[in-house]
Amino acid sequence: MSAAPNTAPDSPGTPRVPTIVLVGHGMVGQRFLEELARRGVAARARIVVLCEEPRPAYDRVRLSSYFSGRTPEELSVVEDGFLDEHGIELYVGDPAETVDREARTVTARSGRTFGYDTLVLATGSYPFVPPVPGKDARGCFVYRTIEDLLAIEEYAKTARTGAVVGGGLLGLEAAGALQGLGLGTHIVEFAPRLMPVQVDEGGGAVLRRTIERRGLTVHTGTGTREVLAEDGAVTGMVLTDGAELAVDMVVFSAGVRPRDGLARECGLAVGERGGVAVDAWCRTSDPAVFAIGECALATDGRVYGLVAPGYEMARTVAAVLAGEPDGEGFTGADTSASLKLLGVDVASFGDAHGTTEGCLDVVYADARAGVYKKLVVDGEGVLLGGVLVGDAEAYGLLRPLTGTVPPVAPEQLVLPPGAGAPVALGPGALPDEAVICSCHNVSKREIAARSSLAEVKRDTKAGTGCGSCLKMIGKLLPPAADQGLCGCFPYGRSELYEIARTRRIGSFAALLDAHGRPEARGGEGCEVCKPAVGSILASLAPGYILDGEQAALQDTNDHFLANLQRNGSYSVVPRVPGGEITPEKLIVIGEVARDFGLYTKITGGQRIDLFGARVDQLPTIWARLVEAGFESGHAYGKALRTVKSCVGQTWCRYGVQDSMRMAIRLELRYRGLRAPHKLKSAVSGCARECAEAQSKDFGVIATAHGWNLHVGGNGGATPRHADLLAQDLSDAELVRLIDRFLMFYIRTADRLERTSTWLERLDGGLDHLKDVLVRDSLGLCAELEALMTEHVGGYRDEWAQTLDDPERLARFVSFVNAPEAPDPSVRFVPERDQIKPDLVSLTAGPPNAGPLAAGTPAAGTLEGATSR
Amino acid sequence: MTTLELSPSPGSWLPVCETALLTPGRGVAALLPDGRQAAVFRDRSGRAYAIDNRDPFTGAQVLSRGLVGSADGRPFVASPLLKQRFDLETGRCLDEEGVTVAVYPVRTLG
Ligand code: SRM
Ligand SMILES: Cc1cc2nc3c(=O)[nH]c(=O)nc-3n(C[C@H](O)[C@H](O)[C@H](O)COP(=O)(O)OP(=O)(O)OC[C@H]3O[C@@H](n4cnc5c(N)ncnc54)[C@H](O)[C@@H]3O)c2cc1C
Ligand code: SF4
Ligand code: FES
């Protein structure tokens, strides 16, 4: 950011460069600056930006992602160094207050005055708050800026219920945010349905049902009469139908109004219902003044509340100022949108409400499944528009087809696959001019000319707006040519697995030197391929995982058979098969934790984690645990974690099978199995599913006749419900099928690919999996079972093996030159009667240590990186 | 038998361990007289390196426990915590400009 000291109007006589003053540094304002820079205007003109908010432009469209963890800094849309590089002067927190068009000056709140040759207004809009009594009480908010969100978040800490006034797009986003903050949430919408602008009655009904099922309360066809307050703070709300809601906070989201105050005060023409009137070149009634974005009233009489039309206006004005106006300027824009609100896909495009004369509707509705789709066509079959709720998959294809006669009958485009003739309408059906990215107005031709997503984003910006076009872009691009694991290997994990298996290669160095990329042969490999190959070698040749060269392939977690924590200490997780544990064993865990002063916590995987062990303490801790009959829980490995279980038939009045017995059997069978990613499992004693088996890589649910096997489930960052692979299996059938499933996965999955993503990617999906594993269509099953038998027979507890071998134990020291010395940097402070890492002393470091570097985790790491 | 030594400050040498104790591609930590720690590595060709053990992003003394790799023919270690990579010859961080860790000269005796 630069701020030149010159704040006086240009004095006559000095050599003059033209000055452009931009009022408003929002999304459109920033885009305008980028367009000026791109066209070289920034180099020839002085550019001054007045920014009212306390921070430079940020991504308002993704504002709500703040609540899912994105920081205000990450929301910024201004690239580091952009302003400096182009000499743009930005005044943050200093709004324009008056414009003198006669003198061509703008005065800001700070008193600074700037002369201008061109003035560009990009002041956006403000949230409309209906003039109801009590609207200014403490606890009333709007939803527009980062500051609004910070205030909402703070207030919500002491609130239990909230109401959002307005059931439009933004209202639903705000409602989602309140619910996410843990509040009981009401939505009050004046229109008879939710999202009245985007969807029609049928779509609104489906949307409402789905949202109510998520626990929100929806009131439609009623307005807000009054906000009730006590001691100045919100306590409730009265609706126009007389109903009273007890709420602690209210968020107004009843539409926006263009911020045209500055323009009005200096006498520029504004529309009857607001908005700075502009022509096709976005010029206001004063030729030296332009208006763009949400504050502008376009020639078609509309104020556009979306970012894409604003970008188009920014481009138009920059082109005019660069002396290269193109086309017809800005005469109107597409207001198609595809969004995910409160988990529901909603899309509308073209003439969604069927206002064209003589048009016809094609409707498919399944209220039970929460799906509603409507297409609007004319008498000749030309697609005019449509509404999709609950399943917007077809949006990417339908929107660009708008205005054409689709290559198949319209009803086939809205029917679910399987009903009637399935349509496999690919991106090939789209004309070259079809606009794929509506945020940035990018056509199929422009995308198809590029060879990777990175190139598309860099050259056209497609996909960098709302992101709804990414799926379609993916389909238009050629499949990535280089499927290599990393800079060292040109092969993916499954190919390397096959190479190692068929060529009987047993060492990393041999694999790298013979099959690595030429430039990587003879080198060290890298942090990506080493653990991946380590895992392949381990699953091909069961044995001690840290022998010989293998020791150098494993992440620190595998190396020390424990999980690294943020201060350099480790955690210890003994295996507790099925979550079943005797009081004696519980006592041992308690005693070990007490004697070594470890922090103790029950995990989400039905076992106990002991945190805060120094490297040199791990062997003594494990000696005690092994002595008491514990084994490694492999919490550190890409291996089987836990098989969770419910208590099952033995105790539970509903149970139909002995889930405990089965869980223990499975956990003992697959313990120690190395895989492309961690493996989790669970067994439930009946269909009530208390063990949550359907969120596991392989989950087993008891039936009256045996067991159902579900595969490919996932919790974590991208949850996926498991698919049913087979039903009513006997014990032996179940185990055999799981053997096959796991080995097939280990053999064909990519590095760090959980079974869920692997299954999604598998050609032919679940049907193919059934063919291979149940019907043995590839004739592989005998081999898969044999591999598993070998694993089961070769299993040894890693910790017992380690303790038995002085050489293996030698590595468990803090310092090679002072084996007796504990690491003084690993320190703890008390919290809630236990310990926690002393991060303060860690930050300060030893004598001579500099301050910590600010940084982001290296590319490609997720939380949990150490064990990934 | 050869001994690996590193120089914690100009002119002084500190014995670390027998060279054979170092698994190629894997590191060990050494305690320096003034309380700092060094991370000592050996690569496939047998060459040894020593850099400061403190991960400058987290403050934890853990770089010795990272994985060794090479990029463009130069050896690096990836921090086991958040995976940033550090050039073993220069101490320069490959993933965040302007961040470096100290490098200690090493020699083998015997
Ligand atoms: C200890 C525990 C949290 C707790 O206090 O309860 C835990 C702790 C860690 N989890 Fe977890 N997860 C724990 C249960 C879970 C669960 C719940 C479950 O297993 O029932 C999940 C969601 C279920 C799932 O995996 O599908 C879970 C999803 C993750 C993920 C995301 C995986 C994904 O596919 O999206 C990671 C990151 C990763 O693996 O890359 C992760 C990674 C981690 C790591 C390994 C991060 C790391 O490398 O430091 C944590 C280290 C544990 C340690 O230091 O001891 N943890 N983690 C739980 C240990 C269970 C156990 O006994 O083994
Ligand atoms: C929660 C939310 C979700 C949204 N989702 C979508 C979506 O999915 N798709 C979509 O297309 N659009 C969406 N929008 C709308 C989109 O954010 C706006 O269309 C876009 O931000 C408009 O850009 P703008 O630059 O015109 O206005 P703004 O981004 O509002 O920027 C205007 C800036 O000007 C400043 N300003 C005003 N007056 C002055 C003054 N006198 N001096 C100095 N500065 C001044 C304001 O403080 C503001 O920072 C969403 C909006 C919100 C709030
Ligand atoms: S899943 Fe069924 S058997 Fe198991 S605890 Fe729940 S209700 Fe009981
Ligand atoms: S359509 Fe929004 S980013 Fe492409």
Q: Determine the Cα angle at A73 with ends A70 and A78, to 5°.
A: 120
Contact A277, A269 (CB under 8 A): yes
Which of A566, A569, A752, A817 to mutate to test binding with chain B, by most B CBs within 10 Å of its CB?
A817
CB contact under 8 A, A567 and B93: no
Which of chain B's residues have a Cβ under 8 Å away from the Cβ of A826? Answer: 61
Is the CB of A638 within 6 Å of ligand 1?
A: no
Shortest Cα distance from A489 to chain B (angstroms)? 12
| Ligand 4: centre distance to CA A830 (Å) | 50
CB contact under 8 A, A816 and B28: yes
| Ligand 2: centre distance to CA B43 (Å) | 54
Could you tell which of A61, A77, A440 is best to mutate to test the pocket of ligand 4, judged by most ligand atoms within 8 Å of the CB?
A: A440
Could you tell which of A438, A447, A461 is best to mutate to test the pocket of ligand 4, judged by most ligand atoms within 8 Å of the CB?
A: A438
CB contact under 8 A, A817 and B93: no
Return phi, psi of residue A610, to 5°: -115, 115
Shortest Cα distance from B107 to chain A (angstroms)? 15
Q: Is the dihedral of CA A539, A540, A543, A546 positive or negative?
A: negative
Of A527, A816, A861, the CB nearest to B69: A527
* Tokens describing residue A264: 């009005």
Contact A818, B28 (CB under 8 A): no
Which of chain A's residues have a Cβ under 8 Å away from the Cβ of B14? Answer: 817
pLDDT value for A608 = 97
Strands A723-729 and A706-711 turn out to be: antiparallel
How far apart are the C-alpha atoms of A629 and A50, rounded to whole Å? Answer: 70
Which of chain B's residues have a Cβ under 8 Å away from the Cβ of A842? Answer: 58-60
Alpha helices of A599-751 — where are they, by DSSP H? 618-627, 659-670, 731-748
**pLDDT per 10-residue tile (average), chain A, 868 residues:** 43 70 97 94 95 95 85 90 94 96 96 96 95 94 96 94 92 91 92 85 86 90 93 94 93 94 95 93 96 95 89 94 85 76 80 80 80 86 86 80 78 64 60 81 87 81 78 76 80 86 86 90 90 85 62 80 94 96 96 96 96 95 96 93 96 94 97 93 96 97 95 90 94 96 92 91 86 89 92 91 88 90 92 92 75 62 34
pLDDT value for A646 = 97
Is the CB of A609 within 6 Å of ligand 1?
A: yes
Q: Whose CA is nearest to atom 6 of ligand 2?
A: A61
How far apart are the C-alpha atoms of A751 and A412, rounded to whole Å? Answer: 39
Contact A168, A255 (CB under 8 A): yes
Give the pocket of ligand 2 (CB within 6 Å). Answer: A 23-29, 50-53, 60-61, 63-64, 95-96, 122-124, 143-144, 170, 173, 259, 262, 293-294, 305-308, 310, 339, 466
Q: Which is nearest to A681 in space by CA: A662, A660, A700, A664?
A: A700
Contact A179, A67 (CB under 8 A): no
Which residue has 């093996």 as its token pair? A801
How far apart are the C-alpha atoms of A751 and A676, rounded to whole Å? Answer: 5
Which of chain A's residues have a Cβ under 8 Å away from the Cβ of B106? Answer: none
Distances (CA, A) of B94 to A788, B27, B87: 41, 19, 7
Order of strands across the sheet that contains A118-121:
A89-92, A46-51, A19-23, A118-121, A289-291
Tell me the three state secondary structure of residue A84: helix
Closest ligand to Cα A465: 4
pLDDT value for A860 = 43
Is the CB of A647 within 6 Å of ligand 3?
A: yes
Is the CB of A689 within 6 Å of ligand 3?
A: yes
pLDDT value for A546 = 58
What is the DSSP track for A182-236?
Answer: T-EEEEEESSSSSSTTT--HHHHHHHHHHHHHTT-EEEES--EEEEEEETTEEEE
Which residue has 């089961």 as its token pair? A792
Cβ neighbours for A518, distance < 8 A, ≥ 6 positions apart: none
Q: At what angle do helices A529-540 and A493-502 cross, to 10 degrees?
A: 40
Ligand 3 closest atom vs CA A653: 8
* CB contact B27 to A (< 8 Å): no
Higher pLDDT, A717 or B76: B76
Which of chain B's residues have a Cβ under 8 Å away from the Cβ of A848? Answer: 34, 36
Q: Is the dihedral of CA A298, A301, A306, A308 positive or negative?
A: negative
pLDDT value for A789 = 93
Contact A192, A220 (CB under 8 A): yes
Q: At what angle do helices A731-748 and A493-502 cross, to 10 degrees?
A: 100
Q: Whose CA is nearest to atom 12 of ligand 2?
A: A306
HEC string of chain B equals: CCEEEEEEECCEEEEEEEHHHCCCCCEEEEECCCCCEEEEEECCCCCEEEEECECCCCCCECHHHCEEEEECCEEEEECCCCCCEEECCCCEECCCCCCECCECCEEEEC
Q: How many CB pairs under 8 A join A and B?
A: 161
CB contact under 8 A, A566 and B58: yes
How far apart are the C-alpha atoms of B48 and A814, rounded to whole Å? Answer: 19
CB contact under 8 A, B95 and A858: yes
Could you tell which of A468, A471, A472 is best to mutate to test the pocket of ligand 4, judged by most ligand atoms within 8 Å of the CB?
A: A468
Which of chain A's residues have a Cβ under 8 Å away from the Cβ of B36? Answer: 846-849
Q: Residues 30 to 59 of B: which have CB under 8 A from any A CB? A: 30-31, 34-37, 40, 43-44, 54, 56-59
Contact A675, A660 (CB under 8 A): no
Shortest Cα distance from A736 to chain B (angstroms)? 37
How far apart are the C-alpha atoms of B97 and B91, rounded to whole Å? Answer: 12
Distances (CA, A) of A617 to A151, A571, A576, A596, A832: 47, 11, 21, 8, 23
* CB contact B8 to A (< 8 Å): no
